[in-house]
A and B are shown apart, each in its own frame.
Chain A
Amino acid sequence: AQTVTQSQPEMSVQEAETVTLSCTYDTSESDYYLFWYKQPPSRQMILVIRQEAYKQQNATENRFSVNFQKAAKSFSLKISDSQLGDAAMYFCAYRSAVRDMRFGAGTRLTVKP
């Protein structure tokens, strides 16, 4: 079974600083995608970034980047130059070709002004 683990229930970062959110997953499949979603207080799920498992290059979207370690099954999210609007719940997600999307338990990120 595929499982996604986020070991940090809560994280805090100072505005303009950098923070890294951890995610590990367990799978026996070789073809899959990994995602980070953001859920602000509005509860809307917003895609932040995605990573193809077959690509070695880490995905980057503006201030958001990932550190994808396939052998270690690790997929961390780095947020640079943190902004107050980054405060939200962040969910790591896994999806394979034959499965639906599975989520971790989430990390609540607080940004301090």
Chain B
Amino acid sequence: NAGVMQNPRHLVRRRGQEARLRCSPMKGHSHVYWYRQLPEEGLKFMVYLQKENIIDESGMPKERFSAEFPKEGPSILRIQQVVRGDSAAYFCASSPATLVNTEAFFGQGTRLTVV
């Protein structure tokens, strides 16, 4: 059972371009969480999704950022018209259910660099 897979591991974009970050949860997991980590800082919650539903997007900027988790395929975090401040490591985590005792399993992150 492969772990949470994120790709690409590293992504370089010029200002104004779009960044698409992909996350394939662990097999059997229907819940996906996206976090952003700035250098030397902790993980900031962005969005929580279940299959085809956004449960909580309170941590995601209202503009330029969007996320989806379709019925088939990976979860996608999309950042439009990237700016230098979007440079960060973006982590995806998945869990099998909303059971409170289930840990979230993390991918290795995508490091986005905006030049």
User: Taking the complex as formed, is B28 at the interface, i.e. its CB lies under 8 A from any CB of chain A?
Assistant: no
By size class, the interface of chain A is 20 to 34
**CB of B108, distance to nearest CB on chain A (Å):** 6
Once A32-B100, A45-B91 are accepted as A-B contacts, the answer to whether A101 and B106 lie under 8 Å apart by CB is: no
**Residues 77-102 of A contacting B (Cβ, < 8 Å):** 91, 95-102
- Which residues of chain A are within 8 angstroms of B89 by Cβ–Cβ distance? 43
The answer to whether A100 touches B33, judged by C-beta atoms less than 8 angstroms apart, is: yes
Number of A-B contacts (CB under 8 A): 52
Query: CB within 8 A of A106: which of B42, B91, B93?
Result: B42
**CB of A105, distance to nearest CB on chain B (Å):** 4
Determine the residue in chain A with the shortest Cβ distance to B99.
A97
User: Taking the complex as formed, is B45 at the interface, i.e. its CB lies under 8 A from any CB of chain A?
Assistant: yes
Interface string of B75-104 (1 = CB under 8 A from A): 000000000000001010100001111011
Query: CB within 8 A of A96: which of B42, B100, B103?
Result: B100
User: Taking the complex as formed, is A68 at the interface, i.e. its CB lies under 8 A from any CB of chain B?
Assistant: no
User: Taking the complex as formed, is A35 at the interface, i.e. its CB lies under 8 A from any CB of chain B?
Assistant: yes
Query: CB within 8 A of A103: which of B42, B103, B108?
Result: B42
C-alpha spacing A95/B99, complex, angstroms: 10
24 contacts between A and B (CB under 8 A): A35-B103, A43-B108, A44-B108, A45-B43, A45-B91, A45-B106, A95-B100, A96-B100, A97-B99, A98-B98, A99-B56, A100-B33, A100-B45, A100-B48, A100-B55, A101-B33, A101-B45, A101-B93, A103-B45, A105-B41, A105-B42, A106-B41, A106-B42, A106-B43
